[in-house]
A and B are shown apart, each in its own frame.
Chain A
């Protein structure tokens, strides 16, 4: 039996459509989220992350109608993030069948939410995402509000803090690497994953299975998420949903 670290396609929602960004900007339309989820179903993907990238910016709560349609379509465990700011929303989304919720802005603005939510629903269902960008001086900083507002937090420091508050997992997203398909920021991943005891999901920059392997072995990530790699093909970045098969993951050393 192989050891199978999780490999997680990360799908971004904008309005009712699926998009892919580059460095959290220039969202490119990829099509109908329902159909994409269905294709990932049939590719036997282990887990899926769905993130609404405009909910917080638009100061609105999650699009529950769309989420329930997505949840009804998916067979695999899914986590949802975007615009969650109340305990009630966490309850509704978990009730739909999402395994986990992802919280970003509210984790900084209202840390009590993490404590309350993990107390109510268990740490395993509360993920905190940390969006990271290097500042002018080359220092890592955690960002909130869809990557638009800088905080004073160093990502490792914020990770430790939310771990103490009860978060069960860190979704670590590199804004500088997002959509660039230039490899993960291994230093960042290592730094954060060595600072906490809870699992760290690395995201941002993956271009192929070797990158997944590097994030796992060199970056010490517990799971690897990626966007572009699973929705783009070739030099014209043709939209084409894909997922590596077991042999490819074994060959690259992701499954060992």
Chain B
């Protein structure tokens, strides 16, 4: 018997679904990080999306150049609100715009030409990031070689990301490529003028709707220096010197552990994993980071002061939100970070899913949810619908595509990918988070929907001809 009715015809999906409970020895034995079943309405993106959209894209003073046909560049342009102090990377996207003859005869010349022209148009850019796509990988263009030639020609780093979409099973592979490429090509290529004994890098936060703004000042207030953000609101020059930080503070373990590991091996930089969402988590992140530098006292002061500021508001929302049941479906980390902050608000996570989680990620989810919680890997549209209809969560947290599925089913929704009105990180972000949950849940429209939604004209029978 399939766990979900809609999977009756594709029983292999069963391995990707798990209900936490008896008979399990504390291990989450879910199938994940494997190829999507053909024909699925998967929510997954591709390696290119993970690399260009998530890791490379936020670098604010690099020319973001896609080597391929135009679609990939068009679709990846400006859809992720990884904002920065300057918005060059958001305003401009570049593509070598391969046409049929380029596909037949190769696109290396066009790529080189594109780099040179892009650099001429924007001489202020500090480097060029080239992203490979399905087509250019298949025809065998040597982007790495072109990047080398171009670097000499324009005298700035030209970095090639081999992130063609068909590589790997999800966008997760793209994070890996992004980490490795930036590490190999940029990290350690310059030395900072000043070296501080109290310096950190923030890894795996992409500054969605300004997340960094909520927690950077807290780290600074305890006396720490931030060398680089990997890669929200970051400049090429900061990436170059990030090896000089004394500690790597990893927020999204899924997408950024790779670079931390490489830095540990090459430079001996230690790292710690933190969660920067939620009051408890954020406090712990500051404590743990401060402890590394012997700044515990300063950290406590900051925590006490800042928490006191937001607590009355959190309490207000907590009263309104307590007892609500939530289903979370996120790319990676939020699915295991957020059950904790939902719990802080008195809410319960009755199920969680990720688009591209690996075994260690699912283990984290498993440990954070209660018995009976529903865990699902790479769910598709019919599965999500069935979950929403049968588990009946009070609230669904996911991204833009799933938002309208939820709305059609009358389920309150919060956009956890790009945030409704974030930022959501840090102490002040937690207030925004709680406020958005409350808005979604208490909007009068849901009463209208309940009382007033019309049946489908003509009934359901004639639906499938």
Partners in one complex: no
